[in-house]
Amino acid sequence: MLAVVGPPLAQIMLRLSKNGSYCLLACLLLAWPGLRAQPKGSACAECAAWNAPQKPFRIYGNTYYVGPHGLSSILVTSGAGHVLLDGALPESARPIAASIRSLGFRMEDVKLIVNSHVHFDHAGGIAALQRASGARVVASPWSAAVMTKTGVGRDDPQYGTIPPIAKVARVELLRDGQTFRVGQLAITAHLTPGHTPGGTSWTWQSCEASRCLGIVYADSLAPISAAGFKFTSSRGAIQDFEKSFAFLRAAACDILLTTHPDASAFWARVEERQPMVDPDACRQLAGRAEEQLRRRIAVETGR
Beta 82-85 vs 110-114: how paired, if at all?
Answer: parallel
Residue type, 172: E
Radius of gyration of the chain measured on its C-alpha atoms: 19
Residue 303 — very low, low, confident or very high, per pLDDT cuts 50/70/90? confident
Residue 90 — very low, low, confident or very high, per pLDDT cuts 50/70/90? very high
Look at residues 162, 222, 219 and name the one whose alpha carbon lies nearest to residue 42.
Answer: 162
Alpha-carbon span 17 to 157, nearest angstrom: 41
Please answer whether residues 68 and 95 qualify as being in contact, where contact means their C-beta atoms are separated by less than 8 angstroms: yes
Residue 167 — very low, low, confident or very high, per pLDDT cuts 50/70/90? very high
Residue type, 47: C
Alpha-carbon span 54 to 230, nearest angstrom: 36
Mean pLDDT on 73-77: 98
Mean pLDDT on 226-254: 97
* DSSP per position, 56-102: -EEEETTEEE-S-TTS--EEE--TT-EEEE--BSGGGHHHHHHHHHH
Look at residues 86, 114, 286 and name the one whose alpha carbon lies nearest to residue 189.
Answer: 114
Phi then psi for residue 42, to 5 deg, are: -65, 140
Higher local confidence (pLDDT), 300 or 35: 300
Alpha-carbon span 184 to 35, nearest angstrom: 29
Phi then psi for residue 9, to 5 deg, are: -70, -35
Mean pLDDT on 281-288: 98
Q: Within 10 A of 186 (CB to CB), how many other CB atoms are there?
A: 15
Residue 41 — very low, low, confident or very high, per pLDDT cuts 50/70/90? low
Mean pLDDT on 191-208: 98
Q: How deeply is 38 buried, as exposed, middle or buried, from its count of CB atoms within 10 A (0-12, 13-18, 19+)?
A: middle
Return the pLDDT at 4: 29
Alpha-carbon span 238 to 251, nearest angstrom: 20
Q: In sequence order, what are the beta bridge partners of 211? A: 208
Mean pLDDT on 87-100: 98
Return the pLDDT at 40: 56
Look at residues 227, 246, 235, 206 and name the one whose alpha carbon lies nearest to residue 300.
Answer: 227
Mean pLDDT on 210-232: 97
Going from the C-alpha of 244 to that of each of 38, 104, 201, 229, 282, the distances in angstroms are: 34, 36, 9, 20, 11
Return the pLDDT at 17: 39
224: pLDDT strictly greater than 90: yes
Return the pLDDT at 163: 95
For 101-136, the pLDDT digits (tens) are: 999 999 999 999 999 999 999 999 999 999 999 999
User: In whole numbers, what is the pLDDT of the chain averaged over residues?
Assistant: 89
Q: Within 10 A of 259 (CB to CB), how many other CB atoms are there?
A: 29
Return the pLDDT at 87: 98
Residue 44 — very low, low, confident or very high, per pLDDT cuts 50/70/90? confident
Alpha-carbon span 302 to 186, nearest angstrom: 45
Return the pLDDT at 27: 40
DSSP designation for 32? -
Q: In sequence order, what are the beta bridge partners of 180? A: 187
For the chain, which domains are there? 2-9+21-32+52-301 (3.60.15.10)
Return the pLDDT at 42: 74
Please answer whether residues 113 and 182 qualify as being in contact, where contact means their C-beta atoms are separated by less than 8 angstroms: no
pTM as predicted: 0.87
Alpha-carbon span 39 to 89, nearest angstrom: 10
